[in-house]
Each structure stands twice: as structure tokens, then as C-alpha cells.
């Protein structure tokens, strides 16, 4: 008989999280090699003089690097 283990992520979509250097909101997540990888959209600060370019506010984090905010 095979036992199936279901591993659930701690952080679901739209969950506010913090990490070393900032805060953000989980936009998506997926399981890779036995760990969860989360795409986090960081809070926007002041508009830089050169403006913003694309998705520079999206960062990938392993679940172990995040804390609930």
C-alpha cells in the first residue's frame, strides 16, 4: 500500500509577507524539489528619477525565507 503525503504551502495567494529587506504580497507559488517557491510583489517605494521598468518589483523566494506580515 502506498501512502501519499500532501505538502501544503504556508503562504497562499494575496498573503502579506515580510522578508529581509522588505514586505510584499504573494502573487503565485509552486512546488519545486520538495520546497515551495513564492513569487512576491514588493511594495512600491518612491518613484525613482529614471522611472520604473517592467516587473522589477517581483521577486522569487523559497518559503523558508518568508515570514507572515
Q: Which of residues 21 and 16 earns the better pLDDT score? A: 16
Q: Is the pLDDT of residue 3 over 60?
A: no
Q: What is the pTM of this model?
A: 0.68
pLDDT tens profile 25-38 = 999 888 877 788 88
Give the separation between CA 37 and CA 29, rounded to whole angstroms: 6
The confidence score (pLDDT) of residue 47 equals 73
Check whether 17 has a pLDDT greater than 50.
Answer: yes
Which of the residue ranges 31-35, 43-47, 56-60 would you say has the lowest mean pLDDT? Answer: 43-47
Amino acid at each position: 500500500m502506498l501512502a501519499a503525503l500532501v505538502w501544503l504551502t504556508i503562504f497562499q495567494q494575496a498573503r502579506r509577507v515580510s522578508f529581509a529587506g522588505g514586505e510584499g504580497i504573494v502573487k503565485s507559488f509552486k512546488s519545486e524539489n520538495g520546497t515551495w517557491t513564492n513569487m512576491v510583489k514588493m511594495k512600491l517605494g518612491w518613484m525613482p528619477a529614471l522611472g520604473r521598468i517592467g516587473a522589477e518589483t517581483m521577486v522569487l523566494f523559497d518559503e523558508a525565507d518568508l515570514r507572515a506580515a
